[in-house]
Structure 1
C-alpha cells in the first residue's frame, strides 16, 4: 500500500451559513490539497462532521470529492461505527471503485473488550472489498485498541493493511511499529507526534493541520521519511503552535477558522459543535497569515 505512505488529510465538510453543504468550497479544498503536495485524501472521517450528516449529504460529499479529485490522488473512505451489522451492510452494498481503502474506527460508546474489537474488525475485514485501515482514537471511542489486538488482526487478515494510531502515546505507537507484520503501515493520527512516529518507522499521517498548511506539513513528513531530521524538525516547530490551537476548542472548529482566513470556506460548524471564541479566532488568523506570507 505504497499510496498510503506520506501525508493524508481528513477532509472537513464545509457548510454555508445556512448549514447546508458547500459543494463549491469542498471543491476548492480538494484542489488546495492537491496543489500543495498532499499524498491522499480521507473522505467522511471524524473531521468531516460525518456524525451530523444525513445519508443524502454523505453521498453528496463523496460525489463532490470524487469529481473534484478526478483520479489525481488516492481516496480513502470513512466507513465505521458501533453497530457492526450496519458497517458490514454498507461495506457489502457500496461501490468502492473510486477508493483505495476504507478507514474504520474502533467501535465507540459500547466500550467493547479487546475480543469484541477483534470480532468487530474480523467482520469488517471479511465484508470489505478494499483494504482496511484500522482507526484507534481512545479519546473519542472510550476504549483503546491495544497493540496485541492490532497485531493479531494484521496477522489474521491480509486486507487489514494499516492503522491510524491516535492514542497520543508514542510508546504504544513504537510497539506497533516494532511488532507489526512486514508491510503493515502505522500511520499517525496525532499531528503533534507525527514526526517522532515517522522517524521511529511510521508510514506518515492522516492529518487535520495538514489540510490547513498542506505544503509545509507534507514537506515535513517527506523530510522525515527521508531521514532529513534537522530540516523536518524546523517545519515541525514552525507549525507546532498551530497544532495546539486548532484542537484547543475542538475539531473541526479550529481548522475551519484557518480555511476562513485562507478564503476557502466559511467557519460554520453544526451543533453540538460551536465556533471557536474570538480570542482563538484572532490567534489562528494571525498564524495563518504569517505562514501564508512566508
Structure 2
C-alpha cells in the first residue's frame, strides 16, 4: 500500500485501444535465474504455469478502459516462504468476479522487491492463466517493471510480455538521482528508451515515496505522454492539481488510436481520493485497498458517474477510513486484514515482520466498517 506524506511509511498507431504496437518478432528470453516458468522440477511450479502460455488467449489485445485496477498481493507459504500459487490464482479470480477492470502484478503490494526475475514471471503467468481459465481472458494485466538501470527495466518489460502481461508500470530510477542531467533530461531519456524497446505499452508510475522523493511534474508526464508506447500514468503522489493538469493536457494530445477509449489513462494511486480524481478528470484508480474491498471501490466510482454524488461521498468516507488503515499497515496490514476477514493472506516475505496479535486485531478492526460495506454490495 502506498503511503501518503502524512502517514508513517512501513511508434505505430493503436488500433483498438492501448495495445502492443512495439512487438518484436522474436523476444528473447532474458531471465536471469535458473528457473523458467513451468519447470516441472521447480518447487515454484504448479498447474497454473503449464502450456497455457501457448494458447491464443495468452497474448491478445486488452484495451485500457476507465475503472478500478488492483495491484494484487503475492502470497507465500507460511513456513518456507515459497510462492503460494494457489492463493495467487484464487485471489485473482476473486477480484475478477467482483467486477474490477484489471489487475497489476509486481507492485509494492505484490512485494516485487522480494522476488527474483523467475518468480516475477511465474506470478504473472499464474495470474494470466487463472483469469483465462475462469473466463476473464479479456481482463488486462499491468506488470510492475521498474528497475534502476534502463537495461534491466527493458528486460523486465520483455519478461512481462512473455509471462502474459499487457502493460508495464514503470517507476523512474532514483538511486543515482543527484547525478542526473538537469531539467529531467535523464528521466525523459530513460522513459523514451524503455518505451522504444518494450514489447508492451508503458504506464508511468509517479510515487515519490518509493523513489527518494523524486516527483515527476505534470509537464514531464505530458511530454512523455506523446510517445506512442506510453499510454497512462498512476499518480500515487496524491496531487490532484497535477492529476487535473495531466488529464486536461492528455485530452489535447494527438490521436494515438480511434477506439473511443482514453488517449492516455490517468489513474489515482490510492482509493482515498477516488472522487477527487474523478472530479479532476481522472479515469479511475489503481489502488491496493481494492484487495480488501473491490466492490466498495467500484461502487463509489459508479455512484459518482451516475450523478449520485452525495451517496458517492458517503461511500468515499468509508473507503477513505479503510484506506487509512491500509496505508498505515502497508502490505503487512493488508495481508493481515485479508487473513482476518477472508481467511487467507498470510504473511509478507522476510525481512518484513509478522504482525503481533495486537496489530492483527487493530488492523482487522480498522477494516471492519469497510468489510461490512463490502459484504452488503
Same fold (TM over 0.5): yes
Task: Determine if contact 1:33/1:211 at 8 Å carries over to the other structure.
Answer: yes
Q: CA RMSD in A?
A: 2.0
Match for residue 172 of structure 2? Answer: 106
What is the CA distance between 1:172 and its match in structure 2? Answer: 1.9
Normalized per residue, the structure richer in helix is 1
3-state SS of paired residue (1:253): helix
Residue 42 to residue 184, structure 1, CA distance change in 2 (3 Å): same
3-state SS of paired residue (1:48): coil
Q: Does 1:224 align with 2:224?
A: no
Match for residue 78 of structure 1? Answer: 144
Match for residue 195 of structure 1? Answer: 275
Task: Determine if contact 1:253/1:267 at 8 Å carries over to the other structure.
Answer: no
Q: Write the distance in 1 (CA, Å) between the matches of 2:155 and 2:198.
A: 10
Q: Write the distance in 2 (CA, Å) between the matches of 1:147 and 1:289.
A: 37
| TM-score, structure 1 normalization | 0.91
Q: Does 1:23 align with 2:85?
A: yes
Residue among 236, 245, 248 paired with 2:328: 248
Match for residue 59 of structure 2? Answer: none
| TM-score, structure 2 normalization | 0.72
What is the CA distance between 1:89 and its match in structure 2? Answer: 3.2
Match for residue 208 of structure 1? Answer: 288
Match for residue 260 of structure 1? Answer: 339
Match for residue 354 of structure 2? Answer: 275
Q: Does 1:149 align with 2:220?
A: yes
Q: Write the distance in 2 (CA, Å) between the matches of 1:171 and 1:119.
A: 25
Q: Write the distance in 1 (CA, Å) between the matches of 2:251 and 2:343.
A: 41
3-state SS of paired residue (2:83): coil
What is the CA distance between 1:120 and its match in structure 2? Answer: 0.5
The gaps in structure 2 that reach 5 residues or longer are 1-16, 18-62, 253-262
- Greater Rg by CA: 2
3-state SS of paired residue (1:258): helix
Q: Write the distance in 1 (CA, Å) between the matches of 2:163 and 2:126.
A: 15
Taking the TM superposition and a 5 Å limit, the aligned residue runs for 1:100-139 are 100-111=166-177, 112=180, 114-139=184-209
Q: Does 1:170 align with 2:231?
A: no
- What is the CA deviation profile of residues 182-235 of structure 1, one whole-angstrom value per residue up to 9, with x for unaligned ones? 422211112221220112110101110011101111111233344432222121
Query: How many aligned positions are there?
Result: 292
What is the CA distance between 1:241 and its match in structure 2? Answer: 1.6
What is the CA distance between 1:123 and its match in structure 2? Answer: 0.6
Q: Does 1:286 align with 2:373?
A: no
Runs of 4+ in 1 over 4 A off after TM superposition: 287-290
Q: Write the distance in 2 (CA, Å) between the matches of 1:108 and 1:6.
A: 30
The gaps in structure 1 that reach 5 residues or longer are none
